[in-house]
Amino acid sequence: MGNIETLKPLVSVIMSVYNAEQWLKIAIDSIVNQTYTNWEFFIIDDASTDTTQKILTSYTDNRIKVIFREKQKCPSINLNYAIKLSKGEFIARMDADDISMPDRFQTQVDYLLQHKDVAVVAGFIDLMNDAGDFTGVWKDDRKASSWPKIKSMLPWNCCLAHPSVMFRAEVLKQYMYNEEQPHAEDWEMWLRLAADNRKIEKIPRVLLKYRVHDQSITSTSNKKSAFLKKDLFYKLYFKNKHKGWYNFKVRLGYILNSIKVVLSGIKKKIVS
């Protein structure tokens, strides 16, 4: 086997988009401009009604493969479809409003080649606003900087930025996304991987700029009851009867969040 500099395994990039015209080109260009060039990019357009489809068809790079939906699905269904099409040894996630740093793929490929026991590798993220200006960091992202810390935090909170991760393809194709999870399909997968002791690591470097805006899932979650959304997440997770010591910890997280739901309801009644 040659040294790491000469190894160029194929990376499959997967992304689901819907009405993403505002930042889509910037996101795609951040993949096109990667220093690591051996990749294929599957973009599933989820029946967009703005100029997203026009932007997608403007690319002539044959590494970019676009699939247009006639009827809207959900992100997890689209991602699973892209996974089945992927031919790469590694699979990277990307979202239509974020920016991958130019050396993201090279950094993650090198890491996975050197650490055969790691199933998934993420990176730190910087938060940015609509204009692309730095607005801060995600505290849980920085706290959970290694596998022991990630595994410890996951039953209580998601601490991995989904569009920053790269998987070993055989692992992702084994687990796939749970299509019943409407929004937190990534957290659900991290819990299943952790319960099976599949190692998830994090490179302590910023590999992605993560945009928080009015339409983003993160921003929308902040406006709704975070406790209620987590309550729904836990209910759907345990619908599949997950068992074992690690999932006992997840159930404790569920119970604690349920208490917070009740207390937040009481507080709201008192204030009103």
**Contact by Cβ (8 Å): 48, 17:** yes
What DSSP element (H or E) covers 209?
A: strand 199-211
Give yes or no for residue 79 having a pLDDT over 60: yes
Tell me the two tokens of residue 71. Answer: 């009827």
Question: Any idea where the domains of the chain sit in the sequence?
Answer: 4-222, 224-272
Portion of the chain with pLDDT greater than 90, in percent: 83
Tell me the two tokens of residue 103. Answer: 């050396």
Give yes or no for residue 1 having a pLDDT over 90: no
Backbone angles phi, psi at 43, to 5 degrees: -115, 120
Q: 197-215 pLDDT, tens per residue?
A: 999 999 999 999 999 976 5
Q: How far apart are CA 246 and CA 197, in angstroms?
A: 9
Q: For residue 160, what pLDDT is reported?
A: 98
Give yes or no for residue 221 having a pLDDT over 70: no
Q: Which residue reads 């998987």 in tokens?
A: 167
Q: 84-112 pLDDT, tens per residue?
A: 999 999 999 999 999 999 999 999 999 99
Q: For residue 92, what pLDDT is reported?
A: 99
**Three-state secondary structure of 121-170:** EEEEEEEECCCCCEEEECHHHHHCCCHHHHHHHCCCCCCCCHHHCEEEHH
| Furthest C-alpha separation in the chain | 68
Q: For residue 183, what pLDDT is reported?
A: 80
Q: How far apart are CA 268 and CA 86, in angstroms?
A: 48
Residue 182's pLDDT band (cuts 50, 70, 90): confident
Give yes or no for residue 222 having a pLDDT over 50: no
Give yes or no for residue 216 having a pLDDT over 60: no
Q: How far apart are CA 99 and CA 101, in angstroms?
A: 6
Give yes or no for residue 33 having a pLDDT over 90: yes
CATH of 4-222, one of 3.40.50.300, 2.102.10.10, 3.90.550.10, 3.20.20.70: 3.90.550.10
3-state class of 88 per DSSP? coil
pLDDT (average), residues 174-184? 92
Strands 90-93 and 166-168: antiparallel
Q: For residue 223, what pLDDT is reported?
A: 37
Sign of CA dihedral 35, 41, 44, 50: positive
DSSP string, 71-86: S---HHHHHHHHHHH-
Give yes or no for residue 2 having a pLDDT over 90: no
Residue 269's pLDDT band (cuts 50, 70, 90): confident
Pick from 190, 120, 127, 185: nearest CA to 159: 190
What is this structure's pTM?
0.92
Q: 241-260 pLDDT, tens per residue?
A: 888 999 999 999 999 999 98
- What is the CB neighbour count within 10 angstroms for residue 184? 23
Give yes or no for residue 155 having a pLDDT over 50: yes
Residue 227's pLDDT band (cuts 50, 70, 90): confident
Q: For residue 250, what pLDDT is reported?
A: 97
Q: For residue 272, what pLDDT is reported?
A: 65
Indicate the average pLDDT of the chain: 92
In DSSP terms, which residues pair with 64 in a beta bridge?
41
Tell me the two tokens of residue 112. Answer: 């996975």
